[in-house]
Structure 1
Amino acid sequence: MSTNNDDIPNNRTILRKRNLFEYLFLKFNKFYESQFSTVGKHIGSRPYVFICIPFLLTGLCLMGFLRLNMNNNADELFIPVNSKSLRDRDIVAKLLPMNYDEYYLHQDYDFGLFGDVIFIAKDYGDIARPVVKTELERIYNLAQHVNVTYNNQTYFYKDLCAKRINTCVTEGDVFFRENFWKRLNDTELHKYMVNDLYTDDDGVPNLLTFIFGKNLKIDLDKGTLYAKTLKLRFNLRRTVMKNNKNENIEIISRMWEQAFLKFFQHFESIMIDVSYSVSTSIDQELENNVNLDMFLVVITFVVMIIVATICLSLRGPMSQSPAYLSAIGVLATMLGLVSGFGFCSLIGIPMCSLVFATPFLIIGVGTDDMFLIFSAYHRTKSSETTSQRLADTFRICGSGITITSLTNIIAFLVGAITDFYGIRLFCFYTSASIVFCYFYQILLFGSAVAIYNECISNNRHTLISCIVDHAQSPNTTRRRHRHRKQCLPWKEMFVYVITPLFTTCGQVIVCIVFLIFTISAFYGALQMRDGMKLGQLLSDKSYANHYFDKLDKEFEPYPLVHFIITEPIPYWRNDYMKRIRNLVKAAKELKGMNHKVEISWFSLLAYDPQDHPFDNGTEFIGILQGFVNLFPTFDNDLLLNSTHLLASRFYLQFGRVFYNSSDGYLVNQLRSLAEQSKLPIKGMKQIVVR
């Protein structure tokens, strides 16, 4: 007995707490129901006034399209904002700017401006055949004569190309050099080859697999070469030296890129297939996708109107058909979408290609609210006045449409704090569109429902309100109340299908299906891989997508990691050089790094600190200046003055690329090694866009 008495106070406490929460819930519920009831009453009494408000707001928001700013820069949209890679890239650009008169591709921190073309024989045979070589030489010469006119001056490739030793730098032009083929035929090419690197008379190493693809087969003993592909890169410059000043000519180089595209778009050959791209191809194709997206948006709205009309009008006589309500509901969604886009543009938020996925989300959210409102309307009493029915309608559905819209808005606003600028823009535009869609469904669709109810109450045709429905008898209201039709005609079908699931056998089947689904979901989640190639964002018919497909199939990416020593250090001291070499050794040993490739000035520099024990840097700088004259390739990697080496750079290479977080993990490992070296050094990987 004592135990039971002890339990009584606890039960009462729980009961009081439960009643307190229930009391607060009822109070809150009563408050928002009264608010929505008031809104519905006003809409029902003056529908023609409220129906104009969405159109006026949309007209104001349309002014924002005058300030529309389209951002299609793939680097800005799909690389995290303020990422370390971008910061390091800016540091490199300031310390070691590109020298377009002594240009080397591996030194370019962002791949620069270029026109790429991949040649493949139509029979997918050897491109080294004489007849194919002749055709490729013809195409190569034609491409070099592509020109543009700017300010009444004509510019050819030779006027805009990045140069080295006063010669245009075209990656892959070794294919057209006679001495390359002569050395191959004379079986002397091995004298110029080291680790697949062919060094020509200009002293510049050429990675043959970068030119001929990963399927290259070369027999140095027999003097034969077999390759199915040839890739050329026409490098362009951003600046040119005029009157001892750097003049920016990037706009002209961009124009030449477009002329390059047009040339190959209209190019035809009976022997050669070409795939081509330029530095801005992804940006341009993302912008072109907008036209396709707009067509799909129109199709989506039309289909949704048809589906909504069928759902709302399948039952009941034609004179009482709510067919036009479906069009009004979809119109409210469309106006909300336009208003959201216009509002964001008005306050200065730029638009990007990802934003055009928003209409497909908004059409779903908007039509959900439409069906909720119309379903709630059918639950009201038909004998009541229009204002009272609208008050009851919004009292019933107000919380539902508010909660669904509010949760969507919160979800997208949370998504707007992501580091990816493109996703951030998408979330801003979607959130704004949902807000406008929510209000427009209440004002516009609610007003349309009020007008619909007025037509029925006055025995008028709902589609053509000027026609009186004489088929309705005086007892129409009573009969309509007795045989009220549901919004959706499939209620009985759902009852028929769902009822067996509540039997013992049905419950067992449901549990088994749910268990299988859960196991499959977990398995799928474990198999999911992150990462994305930007080429996957392009249309299947895009020329750039075709180029990236060929690039993935025929070539392996060879991204380099730049290591930049950003401050002067005593390179002539043995302990500092030992730190640098230990860093290189540890980096090469990491899984995923190519342990064979190293491009570094200090590996070739004939300077041993032990041979110069009393050097304070003077001898080192003198030797380094002579080294640069002997190896001009490293001139852009060294920032020298008369007394100090202010900054320097060397390179290592990735052994594989996954285009996902594995690449980022390897870069972070390299950065960690750089920090552990206690040197003022930064590691930056070239961003591979595929």
Structure 2
Amino acid sequence: MAKFRTDCIEKPIRMCFRIIGHFIGTHPWWFFIVPVIISTALGSGFYFLEDRTSNDIEEEFTPLEGPAKMERKFIQEYFPQNESMFSSLRLNTDGIYACFIATSKTNILTVPHLEDILVLDSKVRNMTVEFEDELLQYVDICATVNGSCSSNAILNIIDYNASNVDLINLTFPTHTSTSGRVSLRSTLGSVKINNSIVQSAKAIQFFYYLTEFNQSRSVIWLTEFIKLLSEESTNVTEVSYSTSMSRQWEFEKVPKSIVPLFSITYTITMSFTIVSCLRLDNVRNKVWVATIGVFSTGLAVLSSFGMLLLMGAKFVMTVSTCPFLILGIGIDDMFIMISCWQKTNVHDSVVDRLADTYQDAAISISITTITDVLALYLGYSSPFRSVQTFCLYAGTAILFCYIYNIIFLGAFLALNGQRETSNRHWFTCVKIPVDCPPGKSRRYAICCVGGAYDHDTGTEEEQPISGFFGKYYGPFLTQKWTKASIVVLYAGYLAVSFYGCFELKEGIDLGNLASDDSYISKYYKDKSTHFSHYGPNVMVAVDKSLAYWEEDQRKTLSSCITDFKKLAYVDKNFFLSWLDSFQVFANDLEINSEITFKRNLLHFLEKRPMTWQDIHFDADNKIRSSRFFLQTLNISTTKQQKDMLISLRKTAKKCPIALVVYHPSFIYLDQYTVIVDNTIQTIVVATVLMLAISLLLIPNPLCSLWVAFSIGSVIVGVVGFMALWDVSLDSISMINLIICIGFSVNFSAHVSYAFVSSTKADSNEKAVDALAHLGFPIVQGAISTLLGVVALSFSENYIFRTFFKLIFLVITFGLVHGVAFLPVFLTFVGMCTNG
């Protein structure tokens, strides 16, 4: 195994890079100016940014081919909404509505609270808006039932008189009054009952549904509703509010909130890069190289984003985090190139030094770029548009960073090398002496002398921090007791990580798409606190022409419905069925023939006009489809919601009669059914791909396996610790796990390649040599990446904070693997040598 090598393309790549470096070093000005011109041209694509921006929550955060979207299409085709007979139960979308939740710490069903609520309800209903020179109130645009606006069940029960609440024995979850039987499941929250009699409730929820006939009018009314509720105060009642458009409106505000953060990030990253490249020698100083390195990353983002916008690519909110990430990633290769430049002989020509630099850095910068880009482009296969678009933009930006570092940064490295060769000052470009002339002051020696180098090796003098890794840290790490401690530490790391993996939650809470200080955050919190026991009313639709008049067919359908009622997440005491009601209606009538069934059904429907919406007749007057309703419950967690959805669909599929289950919320719940499998699939495929690349570029197959091991180890750590850090597995964290694959390779590949390329004989010496050469650049890259995203930690939005949390975990664990775990593990395998 020690003699078996897989570096079939390593030498050709190194030679190719040497040729490129030689050519760029010969014509540096061309390669310095042309990229700026190209970037300016491609940057024109930002003209289309507004047109290309897409912030639709459903399109971004739900599976593109989710089953619920097909189910919705079926429901919309056979059960279109009736504008004159509005029913929230029968909505095939979320509808257009405004809502508020009134809460009390003790009991909301008291006279003072209800008086507050009645005043607020009156203000909402009497609120006036102007649309096309017409004054409109709620009554003018409300969703109607037989010409009247829908109203709140509780206010109807107390007849809009708060004092009546003490005279009524309110029952829950349903209440029967003179106006009929009504469900209070979505109206009263945190209810305490005694023999079905309500003792107290902590919340009442109000909905104001609007017609969908003219959405422009409705949007204006909803905007005024938000304004009214934001300015309104009540005497004793706390109120939270939202609308059907609020989530989308608040989501669209989020990208603007991070614009100030980018300027902070750019300043921090620029400062760190300059300081880390600062040299006390006035000639060997790399301040301008660092500055151009950051500028090169900016050009790469400008060019890549501009090109994609010119090509018509959509720009979604998740892409807003890309510049933060790319700014950190982009300068990693710069640190490697500077490190390689400093190893070249100062007496060689600039052309030869740049050629040597490119040859030395070729594999290190290529393997990290190839793995990052491939991992991200592989993420484009995700079923989530937000993940696809992010991966497209981020992958292309990293590719441009690679190209610009080679041509643009490399060209400036050559220009800076020409300055160094002529021993000119880094700031004034005036020639200065190598040694301090006699009689000159110490101040002159500090400011006006430079150009020193190591006379033994002919290379630039080693930086103190670089020497730290070779002289102190490396030998310390390879001590036996240190290795034993590292193994114990790694075992603890794995134990905590695996524990966290089993605590992982799935799916994104849509309330988190808004900023923390958004008004809808309080609404979602109140809704979760007080209205989580009962879930949505799920439609069960028959997807075939069924002979309902045949008793066998009715028994089969009834058996399937019974299976639904047996499910843990279905309320056995609630089932709304037109067929059951019809059979009670026709108890003494003949319904076992098609003719009599249809004739009596028409009589039945004439007395119950709302039920017409649950039966679809085709052109031949046959029942093509019909639907029933189930009440779900106990689905407060994402796992329960996922299990509920899967169990409903499995039960429907098991029925001999073709059934479709649907609720508008299923559009978003679909993410739970695909996120885990898709994430695992992407990670496995990407890891195998990374292993193949490592086998091609790293001169030893066993060390390539260690790279694959590092990827898996870092991913396990990130997944485990992100669960402990209260981050769920959703489309946002999925993006970061894809990034994790590339970053894991970055750290491990650098160390593995340096280890097997070392000319040292002993494995401990190889590890020390690898850390001496690349320890500092790896740490520089890690810190620069963290600084690139640290500003996101101050964001008031879950998405951006999640990006920071996961990038922090990825970089931290990747760095620890690169400079601690992996060097130690490599010393354990004697076969992993250069031979």
TM-score, structure 1 as length reference: 0.87
- 2:579 paired residue number: 602
In 2, Cα distance between the equivalents of 1:175 and 1:220? 23
The residue aligned with 2:701 is: none
Q: Report the AA paired with residue 570 of structure 1.
A: A
- Structure 1 distance, partners of 2:647, 2:390, is 32
1:8 aligns to what?
Answer: none
Matched, 1:523 2:506: no
Aligned pairs for 1:344-383 (under 5 A) are 344-383=308-347
Q: Distance in 2 between matches of 1:476 and 1:321?
A: 9
CA distance in 1, matches of 2:589, 2:294: 82
Query: Partners of 2:224 and 2:283 in 1: how far apart?
Result: 62
C-alpha change, 1:377 and 1:470, in structure 2 (3 Å) is: same
Judge conservation of contact 1:373–1:394 (CA < 8 Å) in 2.
yes
CA deviation after TM superposition for structure 1 residue 539, in Å? 1.9
1:377-396 alignment to 2 at 5 Å?
A: 377-396=341-360
SS in structure 2 at match of 1:672:
helix
What is the CA-CA distance between 1:283 and the residue it aligns to? 2.0
- Residue 117 of structure 1: how far off its partner (Å): 1.3
**1:317 maps onto 2:276 in alignment:** no
Where does residue 261 of structure 1 map in the other structure?
Answer: 226
Select 2:42's aligned residue among 54, 61, 67: 61
The answer on whether the counterparts of 2:188 and 2:203 sit within 8 Å (CA) in structure 1 is: yes
1:215-256 deviations in Å (ceiling 9; x for gaps): 2235689x87533322211111212xxxxxxxxx12222232
Q: Deviations over 1:623-653 (max 9, x none)?
A: 2222223233322212247842232110112
User: Would you say 1:469 and 2:432 are equivalent positions?
Assistant: yes
Aligned partner letter, 1:351 = F
Match of 1:687 in 2: 665
Provide the residue aligned with 2:645 in structure 1.
667
Contact 1:323 1:463 in 2 (8 A): no
* Aligned-residue offset at 1:158: 1.6
Other structure's SS at 1:226 match: strand
Name the residue aligned to 1:570. 547
Does 2:227 correspond to 1:251? no
Aligned-pair distance for 1:63? 2.6
Work out which of the residue numbers 598, 608, 625 in structure 2 matches 1:647: 625
- The two structures, once aligned, show a CA RMSD in angstroms of 2.9
Give 1:579 deviation, angstroms: 1.3
Equivalent position SS for 1:59: helix
Cα 1:174/1:626, change in 2 over 3 Å = farther
Q: Report deviation, 1:598.
A: 0.8
Alpha carbons of structure 1 residues 675 and 153: separation in structure 2 relative to 1, 3 Å: same
Q: In structure 2, the residue corresponding to 1:117 is in which secondary structure?
A: strand
Deviations 1:60-108 (A, max 9, x none): 2223223332222221211111111111011101111111221111111
What residue in structure 1 maps to residue 250 of structure 2?
A: 285
* 1:534 is aligned to 2:499: no
Cα separation, 2, equivalents of 1:633 and 1:188 = 28
**Paired residues of 2:283 and 2:426 also in contact (CA < 8 A):** yes
Report the number of matched residues: 651
* Corresponding letter in the other structure for 1:165: N
Other-structure match for 1:444: 408
Greater Rg over alpha carbons, structure: 1
For the residue of structure 1 that corresponds to 2:249, the secondary structure is helix
Corresponding position of 1:32: 13
Counterpart among 13, 19, 22 of residue 41 in structure 1: 22
**1:402 equivalenced with 2:366 (yes/no):** yes
CA drift of 1:30 comes to 3.1
Give 1:312 shift: 0.8
Who is 1:232 aligned against? Answer: 206
Q: Percent same amino acid at aligned positions?
A: 22
- Structure 1 residue aligned with 2:192, among 214, 217, 227? 217
The aligned counterpart of 1:94 is 77
Aligned partners of 1:382 and 1:480 also within 8 Å: no
Residue from 460, 463, 469 that aligns with 1:484: 460
Instruction: Report the equivalent of 2:655.
Output: 677
The structural deviation recorded for 1:169 is 1.7
1:295 alignment partner in structure 2 = 260
What is aligned with 2:726? none
Give yes or no for contact 1:600–1:651 (8 Å, CA) kept in 2: yes
> What is the TM-score with the length of structure 2 in the denominator?
0.73
Offset from partner CA, 1:365-400 (integer Å, 9 cap, x none): 212111111111111111122222111111111221
Matched, 1:505 2:481: yes
- Structure 1 residues 543 and 490 mapped into 2: Cα distance closer, same or farther (>3 Å)? farther
1:413-452 superposed matches below 5 A: 413-452=377-416
d(CA) in 1 for partners of 2:129, 2:477 = 72
Kindly tell me: are residues 183 and 638 of structure 1, through their superposed partners in 2, closer, same or farther at Cα, counting changes over 3 Å? farther
- Counterpart code for 2:216: I
Partner of residue 774, structure 2: none
Query: Distance between the aligned counterparts of 2:542 and 2:120, measured in 1?
Result: 43
TM-superposed deviation, 1:607: 5.7
Look up the SS of the partner of 2:538 in the other structure. Answer: strand
In the alignment, is the contact (CA less than 8 A) between 1:365 and 1:405 conserved in 2?
Answer: no
Are residues 326 and 434 of structure 1, via their aligned partners in 2, closer, same or farther at CA, if it must alter by over 3 Å?
same
SS at match of 2:461: coil
Counterpart of 1:178 in 2: which secondary structure?
coil
Q: Which moved more, 1:585-594 or 1:354-363?
A: 354-363
Secondary structure of the structure 2 residue equivalent to 1:434: helix
Q: Secondary structure at the match of 1:429?
A: helix
Structure 1 residues 397, 364: closer, same or farther in 2, change over 3 A? Answer: same
Task: Tell me which moved more, 633-642 or 161-170.
Answer: 633-642
C-alpha distance in 2 between matches for 1:488 and 1:631: 87
Change (3 A) 1:661 1:61: farther
* The 10-residue stretch of structure 1 (510-519 or 499-508) with the greater mean CA deviation from structure 2: 499-508
Are the structure 2 counterparts of residues 311 and 85 from structure 1 closer, same or farther at C-alpha, using a change threshold of 3 Å?
same
Distance 1:534 1:618 in 2: 49
1:154 matches 2:135: yes
1:6 counterpart residue number:
none
- Give 1:603-642 correspondences, 5 Å limit: 603-606=580-583, 615-640=592-617
State the 1:401 CA deviation. Answer: 1.1
For structure 2, the 5+ residue unaligned runs are 438-448, 670-835
Q: What is the deviation of 1:613? A: 7.0
Q: Distance in 2 between matches of 1:626 and 1:488?
A: 94
Q: Please give the alpha-carbon distance, in whole angstroms, between the structure 1 residues aligned to 2:375 and 2:487.
A: 31
- What amino acid is the match of 1:231? Q
Distance 1:680 1:603 in 2: 19
Q: Which runs of 5+ in 1 are unaligned?
A: 1-13, 240-248
Q: CA deviation at 1:460?
A: 2.1
**Is 1:305 aligned to residue 270 of structure 2?**
yes
**Counterparts in 2 of 1:147 and 1:424: CA distance versus 1, 3 Å:** farther
Who is 2:490 aligned against? 514
Offset from partner CA, 1:592-644 (integer Å, 9 cap, x none):
22212211111211369997778432221222222223233322212247842
Q: Distance in 1 between matches of 2:176 and 2:493?
A: 59
Q: Secondary structure at the residue paired with 2:626?
A: strand
Give the match for residue 11 of structure 1. none
CA 1:154 to 1:483, structure 2 compared with 1: closer, same or farther past 3 Å? same
Offset at residue 562 of structure 1 (A):
0.9
Aligned pairs for 1:123-134 (under 5 A) are: 124-134=105-115
Q: 1:39 to 1:100 in 2, by over 3 A?
A: same
